[in-house]
Amino acid sequence: MPRTPFGFTLDPAMLTFTALGPFQAWADGAPLELGGQRQRAVLARLLVAGGRAVPVTTLIDELWPGSPPAQALSTIQGYVSRLRRALEPGRAPREEAEVLVSAAPGYALRASAEQVDAWRFESLVQSDGPPAMVWEAMDTALGLWRGPALAEFADLTWASTEAGRLEELRLVAVERRADAGLALGRATALVADLEAHASAYPLREEAWRLLALGLYRTGRQGDALGALRRARAVWRDELGLDLTSGLQRLESDMLAQRVEDIPAPPSPPPVESPVEVLRVLVADDQALVRAGLQAVLSGEPGLEPVGEAADGEQAIAAVREFRPDVVLLDIQMPHLDGLAAARRILADDHPPKVIMMTTFGSDENLYAALRAGVSGFVLKTSPPEQLVAAIRAAAAGDALIDQAVTTRLIAGFAGRTDPASPPQLAGLSDERIDVLKLVARGLTNRQIAQTLCLTEPVVSEEVAALLDHLGLFERAQLVVAAYESGLVTPGAVAVK
């Protein structure tokens, strides 16, 4: 039997897990009894973690958001015990579990990619090769879907976040399959599906590119140009933007009848570089939260916890002692709150990046922290992988701000004036204004690059130029500047 990357021997034919549709575990093709909704949610949450350990405190916070019962710990332990019996019915009473394992300070799911449909799906979508191979891989990946991912847990933040990520990968698979199909001469069979795809997702550049190419290659040049005109109208209405330079070139080439000379946009080559170790300081007044965060950081390659603090004053002292790259800072702490501490930390020469953690404290404080220049917001109930993504984004000069936070803040505070607010946007080029609009919508540099048909380095340079022009120093401040200047309004936000 094959061994998993974690060193445990499992038989993929015996035990499998499905999350791309109704959540279920299977043994020899037969469904297992996983218990009630919350007990099933424990197993689903461990599957979403991708084999990493999930602290018990995180499980409690995410199963009972805001109001865990007094006996939550023992309840979780009971759920795990019953799930272990369901997953490994032949295991002796004192024998160590091999599937749902204890991994301090919590639990982890040990399985191979072939045993979990979501893991196998992600691997297939990321595969590459000649068009015939890509077609087969994407076809196989899409065949794994049996309905919306994790739909039965949609009211839980971690599940809806992961479902959104998997849905984005599904759309990528649809587009990669269509691109390969066009290269294989299957345009006629694909046009109807591409029309439906572009209509359902009208802000996706690749959807319109593929539809226009498919129509053109079936001899329907007028319809192909009409599709690009529809795309232009939608983008102007929804984003206030014209077509990307890539779609404009495609339109020109169709008019000149030289489309066959246009290769598909190349996939960016994988970047192989040494893993940079990011030193992270944790500041929170709750010892259990600090312990859980330290455990997450310790188990993540490239992240190193370098210290902790229980209040704002301790956080400032620890920053000066340990010189971390990133600070995770709770906004509500005794003696000196996180907002005051963030301001003092960011006022130092060569300050670290600061990410605020919140359970929805004072909106006034959160808005003020955005204006002060923090590099992101995360909810304490966010899954560990989102926390890790926020740390890496902040260190790279990008930002990951929880959409639930920004939507609420911007709706409440957009349009207010402040004597310290950045200057108006006069003097910015149209291209730079487009970048600022997309930053304000919460897109990452990679998403902006895809939307505007640019490279990520060019987007990074544009963001740096915006900061310099407006006299700001953090990306989150650009979000506030866009709303305070009236460039973007709350009703126009259509975050993916």
What six digits make up the tokens of 45? 């949450």
Distance CA 157, CA 48 (A): 12
Gyration radius from the chain CA atoms: 24
What six digits make up the tokens of 397? 């000069």
Does domain 430-492 bear CATH number 2.40.40.20? Answer: no
pLDDT at position 252 is 86
Distance CA 43, CA 37 (A): 10
State which H helix or E strand residue 102 sits in. Answer: strand 100-103
Closest of 340, 485, 310 to residue 414, by C-alpha? 485
pLDDT at position 400 is 55
What six digits make up the tokens of 271? 């970047």
> How far, in Å, are 130, 181, 250, 256, 469 from residue 185 at the CA level?
14, 6, 19, 21, 48
Distance CA 202, CA 232 (A): 10
For tokens 């035990």, the residue is 15
Closest of 285, 408, 387, 411 to residue 336, by C-alpha? 285
Distance CA 83, CA 40 (A): 8
CA terminus-to-terminus distance, the chain: 41
pLDDT at position 297 is 86
The residue ranges of every structural domain in the chain are 1-173, 185-267, 278-413, 430-492
State which H helix or E strand residue 24 sits in. Answer: strand 24-27
**DSSP β-ladder status, 106-109 and 278-283:** unpaired
pLDDT at position 104 is 74
CATH class (in words) of the domain with range 278-413: alpha beta
> Quick check: 251 and 226 in contact, CB under 8 A?
no
Q: What are phi and psi of 2, to 5 degrees?
A: -70, 155
What six digits make up the tokens of 192? 């109807």
Closest of 326, 325, 307 to residue 317, by C-alpha? 307
pLDDT at position 65 is 83
Distance CA 2, CA 241 (A): 52
In this predicted model, what pLDDT tens digit does every residue of 3-33 receive, in sequence order? 333 333 345 347 899 999 889 999 888 899 9
SS3 of residue 468 by DSSP: helix
Distance CA 308, CA 314 (A): 8
> Quick check: 100 and 80 in contact, CB under 8 A?
yes
In 74-219, the DSSP E strands lie at 100-103, 106-109
Per-residue pLDDT of the chain (496 residues; tens, 9 = 90+): 333 333 333 453 478 999 998 899 998 888 999 999 999 999 999 999 888 888 998 899 888 887 888 898 999 999 999 999 999 888 887 788 889 998 878 899 998 888 999 999 999 999 989 999 999 999 999 999 998 999 899 888 889 889 989 999 999 999 999 999 999 999 999 999 999 999 999 989 999 999 999 999 888 888 989 999 999 998 888 888 888 888 888 888 888 777 764 545 555 444 444 456 889 999 998 888 888 888 888 878 888 899 899 988 899 999 999 999 999 988 888 778 788 888 888 888 788 989 888 775 455 666 677 666 787 777 777 777 778 878 887 787 665 555 555 555 555 555 554 544 445 666 777 778 888 888 777 677 777 877 776 777 888 888 888 888 887 767 767 777 777 776 766 544 333 3
State which H helix or E strand residue 61 sits in. Answer: helix 56-63
Q: What are phi and psi of 476, to 5 degrees?
A: -60, -30
Choosing among 3.40.50.720, 1.10.357.10, 1.10.3720.10, 1.10.10.10, the CATH entry for 1-173 is 1.10.10.10
Distance CA 263, CA 282 (A): 48
Distance CA 355, CA 222 (A): 51
**DSSP β-ladder status, 30-31 and 24-27:** antiparallel
pLDDT at position 4 is 36
Within 301-442, residue ranges assigned H as helices are 312-322, 338-347, 363-372, 384-395, 403-413, 430-440
Distance CA 125, CA 141 (A): 7
Distance CA 382, CA 359 (A): 10
Closest of 337, 385, 336 to residue 358, by C-alpha? 337
What six digits make up the tokens of 68? 């865990």
pLDDT at position 404 is 53
> Quick check: 195 and 207 in contact, CB under 8 A?
no
Within 10 angstroms of residue 220's Cβ, the number of other Cβ atoms is 16
Q: Which fold has domain 185-267?
A: 1.25.40
> Quick check: 232 and 243 in contact, CB under 8 A?
yes
Q: Sign of torsion, CA 391 393 395 401?
A: negative
Q: Do domains 1-173 and 430-492 have the same CATH topology?
A: yes
